[in-house]
Amino acid sequence: MNDTTLTVVGNIVDTPERKVLDNGASVTTFRVASTSRRFDREQSGWIDRDTLFVRVTCWRQLGDNASRCLVKGDPVVVVGRYFSRRYEVEEQKRTAYDLEAQAIGHDLARGSTTFQRNPRAADASPAYEVSDEQMPAEVA
Amino acid sequence: MNDTTLTVVGNIVDTPERKVLDNGASVTTFRVASTSRRFDREQSGWIDRDTLFVRVTCWRQLGDNASRCLVKGDPVVVVGRYFSRRYEVEEQKRTAYDLEAQAIGHDLARGSTTFQRNPRAADASPAYEVSDEQMPAEVA
Amino acid sequence: MNDTTLTVVGNIVDTPERKVLDNGASVTTFRVASTSRRFDREQSGWIDRDTLFVRVTCWRQLGDNASRCLVKGDPVVVVGRYFSRRYEVEEQKRTAYDLEAQAIGHDLARGSTTFQRNPRAADASPAYEVSDEQMPAEVA
Amino acid sequence: MNDTTLTVVGNIVDTPERKVLDNGASVTTFRVASTSRRFDREQSGWIDRDTLFVRVTCWRQLGDNASRCLVKGDPVVVVGRYFSRRYEVEEQKRTAYDLEAQAIGHDLARGSTTFQRNPRAADASPAYEVSDEQMPAEVA
């Protein structure tokens, strides 16, 4: 309840790093940069505005796949839960922001992908199947 | 201004269809189903709630890649501009809803991808590049 | 899990309607229209594009307040869970889309509000309180 | 293009501060805290998880209204463009995150509001008006 959802479209700016925690869970982290652009009438072209940097954390199967498939520079779309944590560095209080990913994909606006589904045992949440007769006609 | 942004995580429920319009622009359309789940305490398991069906439209390079790379059943994440159009069928007024995609990706929570960047000529908006020294240390 | 979140900024286009169900729960419904605009260079002004119509459902305390405070024409911001339902009308299958609101507010971009907090008994989820010393300095 | 949109539901944690810049534009800033909650089965109640702190910036008419109408502690819903800026403090590089608000409202889930529309001259973007006959019947 009250989760804050964030979607970011941008490029991975470092090499994804995978760790295995003491409890056996694996987690992969990397950063994404998303640059806002606007059309400039005088230059008749797109110019860059500011860039949003977001740290992405992905757990278990999602993190394992991300670690294997994503490299620095890749264009991605990421959606997940956005939150902040507080910590101290040399007695200075800091806030770190994290995007805990629910889904990540290589952006098809920037290239092509071939997809290989998880082996069934690895996929805790089975894919949603919809038969043709369930399709709402109006959406057709 | 005032665009409504929507992100959907789900499965493609029909075969993506690509058309070339009279003005030469290409467009690909398909539908995505996203099923909400909640944890049921009595059954100690996840149960399905309602399913959201969304029609996705993707233009030009994004649509061409989507048409080549996506098949029925694929798990995807889609983000874009959500809007509605009115039309008439047999003198009945109807409303159609459309998600005009900005970015689409195969969901790495459900499988693995290999990625091939667009040839440079095809990629109108060049990938954002960030050098290491531009990286904000605090996000590290 | 897997909920689809939608935020809409627009105007209420009908009179909010409140009902009390057999189980005692109250629900209020209304529709919101959100018009996308873009800057037209030839006309040097904003022109309307398409309009998104969304049906909003709000339950219990939120619905009771909405029913009392909102009237047709009011500018609002609404965020909640977006989903679809299927039904039949005269043997035709239809899909209805619903935004189940988590929060609604009169838009301060369009006017001023005076706010009166719910009586404590009515407010199931107490307001989050943060003392000054909990404030992260970096966000200051 | 490529803007990152963020919606936050939470409470204002400091007194909104309004400034007038040299160019005559006014801007109001404040911070919002949004606490995620989850249902704990053992305790049979909601428990707090982490809290997201976001700095909100609002310009011109929206900022003027926010400055007049919002006080510390108020529950609000805010939607806007999310971005980051880099700066240096004592030769340390830092990143600041900002939510540039498009719309803000007192949350009707937490209380009641009375609304007074901007005087017409102050309201650059006139409210969207929809006549009854424009209403799509299917959304009714």
User: Confidence class of residue C11 from pLDDT cuts 50, 70 and 90?
Assistant: very high
Substitution target in A27, A35, A113 with the highest count of B β-carbons within 10 Å is A113
Out of B70-79, C27-36, D64-73, D119-128, least confident range: D119-128
Closest-CA residue of chain D to C87: D138
Residue C14, min C-alpha distance to chain A (Å):
25
Angle formed at CA B29 by CA A76 and CA B34, multiple of 5 degrees: 65
- Quote the CA–CA distance of B98 and B102 in Å, as a whole number: 12
Helix (H, G, I), strand (E, B) or coil at B60: helix
Residues of C in contact with D55 (CB under 8 A): 139
Residue C41 backbone class (left: φ over 0; alpha: ψ -120 to 50; beta: rest): alpha
pTM attached to this predicted model: 0.86
pLDDT attached to residue A44: 76
User: Confidence class of residue D2 from pLDDT cuts 50, 70 and 90?
Assistant: confident
> What's chain B's average pLDDT?
85
Residues C5-31: b if buried by 16+ CB within 10 A, e if exposed = bbbbbbbbbbebeeeeeeeeebbbbbb
Closest-CA residue of chain A to D78: A4
User: What is the DSSP-derived secondary structure letter of residue B25?
Assistant: -
pLDDT tens-digit map of A34-83: 998 877 777 777 788 889 999 999 999 999 999 999 999 999 999 999 99
B95 versus A40: which is more confidently predicted?
A: B95
> What's chain A's average pLDDT?
85
Q: Are A97 and A55 in contact (CB under 8 A)?
A: yes
Asked whether the predicted pLDDT for residue D11 surpasses 90, the reply is: yes
pLDDT tens-digit map of B14-30: 999 999 999 999 999 99
Count the alpha carbons within 13 Å of C128 in the hemisphere toward its beta carbon. 26
Q: Nearest CA to C136 among D10, D11, D31?
A: D31
User: Confidence class of residue D59 from pLDDT cuts 50, 70 and 90?
Assistant: very high
Q: Please report the sign of the dihedral spanned by the C-alpha atoms of residue D69, residue D70, residue D76, residue D81.
A: positive
Substitution target in A1, A3, A4, A5 with the highest count of C β-carbons within 10 Å is A5
Closest-CA residue of chain B to C40: B1
> What's chain C's average pLDDT?
85
Asked whether the predicted pLDDT for residue C129 surpasses 70, the reply is: no
Tokens 């089975």 belong to A126
pLDDT attached to residue A91: 85
Q: Average the pLDDT over C23-44 and give the result.
A: 88
Among partner residues D41, D95, D136, which is closest to B138 by beta-carbon distance?
D95
Asked whether the predicted pLDDT for residue C103 surpasses 80, the reply is: yes
Chains touching B, CB cut-off 8 Å, 3+ pairs: A, C, D
Residues of A in contact with C2 (CB under 8 A): 102
Distance of alpha carbon B71 from the chain centroid: 13
Residues of B in contact with D138 (CB under 8 A): 93-95
Residues of C in contact with B84 (CB under 8 A): 50-53
Residue B103, min C-alpha distance to chain C (Å):
16
Residues of D in contact with B136 (CB under 8 A): 84, 86, 93-95
Q: Average the pLDDT over D15-26 and give the result.
A: 96
Among partner residues D5, D84, D93, which is closest to B137 by beta-carbon distance?
D93
pLDDT attached to residue C133: 38
Tokens of A96: 């770190």
Residue C32, min C-alpha distance to chain D (Å):
10
Substitution target in C81, C138, C139 with the highest count of A β-carbons within 10 Å is C138
Q: Nearest CA to A115 among B102, B54, B105, B77?
A: B105
Asked whether the predicted pLDDT for residue B42 surpasses 90, the reply is: no
Highest mean pLDDT range out of A28-42, B79-93, B105-119?
A: B105-119
Closest-CA residue of chain B to A62: B109
Asked whether the predicted pLDDT for residue D29 surpasses 50, the reply is: yes
Among partner residues D53, D76, D116, which is closest to C136 by beta-carbon distance?
D53
